[in-house]
Amino acid sequence: MELHVMTNTLDYEVETLSGRKISVHSENNERVGALRQRIASEYEYDGEVGSDFTLLHEGRELADDDVVTESLVKDTVQIRRTTYSCLVEHIIAPFPTWQKWVARVGCVIFAAFFISALAQVSFYLPHDTDRKVPVTLQTLAVFLIGSLLGWKMGPLAIIVYMIMGLAGAPFFAKHAGGYKVLYGASSGYLYGFILAAFIVGFMAERGNDRVYAFRWRSSLIAMLLGEVAIYVIGVPVLAKYVGWNKCIQLGLTPFLVGDVLKIIIAAVLIPLIWKLLAFIFNRQFTFKAGVALFKPRLH
């Protein structure tokens, strides 16, 4: 992989999964292992970089003994990890420990109110001329919260939301509240929200929330699996009240079109947030490897 060139230094970029580009200044023929150490020293607490990342070139993982040459860096070098931080953890990573916990608690409480707000938003799709099946944005809120807060805080926010509704707050759909909602025919869907938030959050921390493409590592796959989890719990609970013959007709088929719409919105919106953050980062900041300093771009 070594290539003799006339220049002594190389200026190039490494790209994270969300599209953030980190400008790097290296000595020619530097080992990849040394480069990784210098990037890790600056981005140890960065949710997309950290200290356990790998460097890829044209889909191939670079070994520590590989040499950084002009032929190598003429194409984009990519940073990839096995696990990532959710968006909230990524943002609060530089905070002191106590501020992180304050932010986490605040996000969980805000998320619970966010679900309750979107649960009250309902509308009818054009094909529903008889206006029998209103579409609420409750599921959309679950997907957004699970992805943004991760597999720990996301389900916790759903539980807090359900506890507030159990206490009598009119936070469920149609301003319902009280213990009867959590024991009724539709209660299974509420419990399914917890599992859905866990699945979406877990996959978000594997990088799915940063990718649009239709493959296993994409926001679309995460949302689809979350939706399946809701129905896997919700439909059998409904069947206990109306029987299996009617539960599909009443609790699945009428909601499919609306749920597909919400899945598409969430699958597009979440990566878009990451792309926006990457755009802001790429426009305003650069990093010179070996110099522990952020500074505005001059171009």
- Helices 219-242 and 138-166 meet at what angle, rounded to 10? 50
Number of domains forming the structure of the chain = 2
221 in the same domain as 141: yes
Residue 195: is its pLDDT beyond 60? yes
239 in the same domain as 132: yes
In a domain, 16, yes or no: yes
268 in the same domain as 147: yes
207 in the same domain as 111: yes
- Give the pTM: 0.85
Partner residues linked to 123 by β-bridges: 135
Mean pLDDT of 189-206: 95
In a domain, 288, yes or no: no
Going by pLDDT thresholds of 50, 70 and 90, the confidence category of residue 48 is confident
In a domain, 198, yes or no: yes
pLDDT score recorded for residue 134: 66
Q: What does each C-alpha distance from 114 to 111, 161, 274 come to in angstroms?
A: 5, 9, 20
In a domain, 256, yes or no: yes
76 in the same domain as 127: no
102 in the same domain as 17: no
Residue 46: is its pLDDT beyond 90? no
Q: Which of 82, 108, 128 is the last residue of a domain?
A: 82
Residue 77: is its pLDDT beyond 50? yes
Domain carrying residue 41: 9-82
Alpha helices by DSSP H, listed for 30-96, are 32-43, 70-73, 87-92
143 in the same domain as 68: no
153 in the same domain as 258: yes
Separation of alpha carbons 161 and 179, rounded Å: 13
Mean pLDDT of 90-108: 94
Residue 83: is its pLDDT beyond 80? yes
In a domain, 290, yes or no: no
Residue 286: is its pLDDT beyond 50? no
218 in the same domain as 256: yes
In a domain, 294, yes or no: no
Mean pLDDT of 123-146: 78
110 in the same domain as 138: yes
Q: Is 69 helix (H, G, I), strand (E, B) or coil?
A: coil
In a domain, 289, yes or no: no
Mean pLDDT lowest among 15-29, 137-151, 161-175, 264-278: 15-29
Which carries the bigger pLDDT value, residue 123 or residue 292?
123
66 in the same domain as 171: no
Provide the Cα torsion 123, 128, 133, 137; round to 10°.
Answer: -30
Per-residue DSSP letters for 133-183? S-EESHHHHHHHHHHHHHHHHHHHHHHHHHHHHHTT-S-SGGG--SGGGGG
**Tokens 């990718």, residue located:** 211
CB half-sphere exposure, 5, CA atoms < 13 A = 19
Burial of 220 (0-12, 13-18, 19+ CB in 10 A): buried
Q: Where residue 215 sits, what CATH number does that domain have? A: 1.10.1760.20
In a domain, 241, yes or no: yes
Mean pLDDT of 161-172: 93
201 in the same domain as 69: no
